């Protein structure tokens, strides 16, 4: 009788159950592993052999066949070590088969029999609960992460012996209760530290309130990067579902620090401009989430937008439209979530001083033209608004006046978000930036005065149809911040002033 | 010298409870030095005999190619004798002799190797 137990693997960011069957028969001694296993899984043979032996159990000198089902999906990683070891011991009657099939097991074994952490444990725990398994047996280092899931027994083990003890007699290893994560992050950066730049701060507040994409334009040293870095500090706090989703992504990507449980801060990702397409969108032969997915529910900041290679930026189009990235490979196609706020920064020209009141710009018109042509039009079209972060005057640089704190700005942002949630209740969107044309028509009615203003803007600035939609969305958010049901002329006028890049084209 | 080693080996193994069934079983694929029964298990034994200050142990001399030959010979043995459902094992007996042929020490390596597809079979 073959021994049967369950493990789990990850596809995209979701887990699926893998059945591990172990058959031991007489004949020339051999150890075969079938079921589309990759190198790391194949190497499990050697680790398992040593671990079983070093835990004080005999390793059977028989013909051993291990099968991983479903057989058509490529299995990767070392998480099958522990289930294979336990399966062999069950087939040898060292482990009682009774509880084996009721749960899910994962973990990498070391040669001495201790258990090492694996990636993607949260996703595995979620699928184990979904499949109504009673427990999940996992490495102690992954305990905090899996404990987030309620409704399933989480059994952390440090070594093979503890796993055997649990299966044979239900002994759960004693484990120190982990501390609850602290609520406030003392090292968090705050907008109070940024001098001046009131226009830019206001724009960031609007962007945070409506989930809009934003472009910061300004000379070097004006604080663009500083401003963008502090954006997570004014974004609304994460809901539990969002936190679970982000933690799942980071767990699959192997970026979760050891012993960490839920991620409570919104991610802020600022990839370097040498990033590749696969690095940004995700992919590779064993697909991994890219930066757009790691920025899910957070901020993707592209510093010096013009330095990024064009074909890399083009991959942003799909996630910006759909909130997901689809990775298609010959064998499989994966969907990674990627709903993020895009914040870009750039200099107005190659030397950086175009339009600066003090520093003369040394660029030729031709250089300027080439520089501006480097930004992808379609990408720019998806950025709701732009704002200038000009050079600071001496009063602002030397002044000691502190700005408004992030906490106060966040209060207003949260208020505006609540309004939006009420507005979009029952639909799949939750903030103004994601409105489609139907919702725009419904929620962005203009008064006669505002309508006249919009007509003038279209006429004088050459605002495109899509640009017009974006204006309305931003105006809607400004009105929400003002707690106003209607979009008035003032709101629209403020929105119009944030479209300066329109002049570039 | 090999024959003398196998003669010594028989004695050592019998002392350990092995029942010797064949000596120098030849097939067209290779030779099995000794075939013995250890309880229920059928054991194929490779005997390595060394004299004096030789370099390396006998275990290191069991190359992939040698393993492959032993595996093929063992399969042939099982087929010819009609054994289909018996647990089997490969052991290595490493003998160290002095110049006069006196046994200095020996090492019995139980289950010295397994079948590994693409490596030795």
Q: For the segment A42-78, what is each residue's pLDDT rounded down to a tens digit?
A: 888 989 999 999 999 999 888 999 999 888 888 888 8
User: By percentage, how much of chain A surpasses pLDDT 70?
Assistant: 96
Distance from CA of A49 to the nearest CA of B (A): 11
Q: Which residues of A touch B (CB under 8 A)?
A: 26-32, 61-63
- How far is it, in rounded angstroms, from Cα A193 to Cα B94? 76
Q: Please name the member of B78, B110, B114 whose beta carbon is closest to the beta carbon of A30.
A: B114
Q: Residue A50: list chain B partners with CB under 8 A.
A: none
Q: Residue A26: list chain B partners with CB under 8 A.
A: 85-88
Cβ-Cβ pairs closer than 8 A, A with B, add up to: 37
Q: Length of chain A in residues, anyone?
A: 505
Q: Has the ipTM of the complex gone over 0.85?
A: no
Q: Specify the 3-state DSSP secondary structure of B91.
A: strand
Q: Length of chain B in residues, anyone?
A: 121
What is the CATH code of the structural domain delimited by A435-505?
1.10.8
CB contact under 8 A, A61 and B71: no
Give the nearest chain B residue to A45 (CA atoms). B116
Q: Please name the member of A26, A28, A61 whose beta carbon is closest to the beta carbon of B74.
A: A28
The mean pLDDT value for A70-94 works out to 90
Q: What is the pLDDT of residue B56?
A: 59
| Tokens representing residue A394 in the block | 């001496």
Question: Given 3.40.605.10, 3.40.1350.10, 3.40.50.970, 1.10.468.10, which CATH number is that of B2-109?
Answer: 3.40.1350.10
| Tokens representing residue A40 in the block | 């790391």
Q: What is the pLDDT of residue A267?
A: 93
Give the pTM. 0.82
Angle, to 10 degrees, between the axis of helix A121-130 and the axis of helix A240-253? Answer: 120
Sheet hosting strand A341-346, strand order edge to edge: A268-269, A299-302, A341-346, A214-217, A385-388
Domain ranges across chain A:
3-169, 191-431, 435-505
Residue A321 burial by CB count (10 A; 0-12/13-18/19+): exposed, middle or buried?
Answer: exposed
Give the nearest chain A residue to B113 (CA atoms). A29
- pLDDT tier at A103 (50, 70, 90 boundaries)? very high
Any idea what DSSP says for residue A323?
Answer: S
Task: Render pLDDT for A223-248 as a digit per residue (tens, 0 to 9).
Answer: 888 899 999 999 999 988 899 999 99
CB contact under 8 A, A26 and B88: yes
| Tokens representing residue A436 in the block | 């489609």
Residue A270 CA, chain-centre distance (Å), reads: 12
What is the CATH code of the structural domain delimited by A191-431?
3.40.50.300
CATH class of the domain whose range is A3-169? alpha beta
Residue A104 burial by CB count (10 A; 0-12/13-18/19+): exposed, middle or buried?
Answer: buried
CB contact under 8 A, A31 and B116: yes
CB contact under 8 A, B71 and A31: no
Give the nearest chain A residue to B76 (CA atoms). A28
Q: Please name the member of B75, B85, B114 whose beta carbon is closest to the beta carbon of A29.
A: B114
**Among residues B5, B38, B24, B115, which one has the least CA distance to residue B77?**
B24
Q: What is the pLDDT of residue A177?
A: 64
Residue A66 CA, chain-centre distance (Å), reads: 35
Residue A397 CA, chain-centre distance (Å), reads: 36
- How far is it, in rounded angstroms, from Cα A275 to Cα A298? 19
- How far is it, in rounded angstroms, from Cα A317 to Cα A487? 29
């Amino acid at each position: 009788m073959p021994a049967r137990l369950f493990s789990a693997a990850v596809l995209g960011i979701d887990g699926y159950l893998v059945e591990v069957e172990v058959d031991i028969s007489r004949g020339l001694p051999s150890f075969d592993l079938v079921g589309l296993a990759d190198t790391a899984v194949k190497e499990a043979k050697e680790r398992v052999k040593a671990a079983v032996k070093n835990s004080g159990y005999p390793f059977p000198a028989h013909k051993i066949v291990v099968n991983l089902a479903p057989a058509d999906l490529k299995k990767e990683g070392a998480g099958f070590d522990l289930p294979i070891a336990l399966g062999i011991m069950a087939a040898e009657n060292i482990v009682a088969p009774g509880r084996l099939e009721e749960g899910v097991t994962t973990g990498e074994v070391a040669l001495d029999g201790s258990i090492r952490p694996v990636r993607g444990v949260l996703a595995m725990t979620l699928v184990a609960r979904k499949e109504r398994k009673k427990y999940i047996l996992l490495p102690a280092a992954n305990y905090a992460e899996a404990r987030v899931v309620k409704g399933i027994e989480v059994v952390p083990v440090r070594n093979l012996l503890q796993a055997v003890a649990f299966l044979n007699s239900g002994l759960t290893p004693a484990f120190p209760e982990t501390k609850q994560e602290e609520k406030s992050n003392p090292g968090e950066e705050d907008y109070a530290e940024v001098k001046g730049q009131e226009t830019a701060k206001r724009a960031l507040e609007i962007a945070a309130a409506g989930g809009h994409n934003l472009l910061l334009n300004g000379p070097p040293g004006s604080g663009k990067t500083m401003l963008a870095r502090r954006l997570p500090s004014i974004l609304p706090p994460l809901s539990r579902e969002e936190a679970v989703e982000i933690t799942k992504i980071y767990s699959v990507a192997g970026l979760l620090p050891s012993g960490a449980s839920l991620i409570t801060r919104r991610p802020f990702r600022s990839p370097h401009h040498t990033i590749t397409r696969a690095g940004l969108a995700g992919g590779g032969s064993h697909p991994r989430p890219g930066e757009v997915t790691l920025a899910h529910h957070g901020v993707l900041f592209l510093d010096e937008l013009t330095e990024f290679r064009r074909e890399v930026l083009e991959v942003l189009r799909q996630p910006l439209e759909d909130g997901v990235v689809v990775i298609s490979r010959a064998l499989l196609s994966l969907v990674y979530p990627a709903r993020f706020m895009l914040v870009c920064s750039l200099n107005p020209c190659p030397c950086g001083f175009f339009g600066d009141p003090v520093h003369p710009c040394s660029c030729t018109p031709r250089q300027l033209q080439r520089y501006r042509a480097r930004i992808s039009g379609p990408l720019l079209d998806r950025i709701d608004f732009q704002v200038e972060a000009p050079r600071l005057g001496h009063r602002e640089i030397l002044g000691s006046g502190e700005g408004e704190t992030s906490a106060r700005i966040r209060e207003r942002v949260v208020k505006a978000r609540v309004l939006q949630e009420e507005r979009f209740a029952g639909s799949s969107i939750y903030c103004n930036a994601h409105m489609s044309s139907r919702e725009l028509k419904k929620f962005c009615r203009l008064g006669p005065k505002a309508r006249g203003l919009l007509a003038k803007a279209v006429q004088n600035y050459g605002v495109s149809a899509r640009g017009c939609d974006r204006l309305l969305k931003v105006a809607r958010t400004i009105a929400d911040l003002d707690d106003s049901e209607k979009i008035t002329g003032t709101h629209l006028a403020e929105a119009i002033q944030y479209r300066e890049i329109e002049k570039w084209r | 010298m090999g024959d003398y080693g196998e003669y010594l080996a028989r004695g050592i193994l019998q002392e350990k409870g092995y029942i010797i069934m064949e000596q120098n079983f030849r097939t067209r694929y290779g030779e099995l030095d000794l075939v013995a029964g250890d309880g229920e298990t059928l054991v194929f034994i490779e005997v390595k005999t060394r004299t004096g200050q030789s370099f390396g142990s006998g275990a290191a001399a069991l190359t992939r190619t040698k393993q492959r030959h032993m595996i093929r010979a063992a399969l042939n043995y099982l087929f010819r004798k009609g054994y289909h459902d018996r647990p089997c094992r490969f052991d290595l007996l490493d003998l160290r002799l002095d110049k006069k042929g006196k046994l200095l020490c020996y090492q019995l390596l139980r289950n010295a190797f397994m079948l590994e597809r693409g490596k030795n079979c």
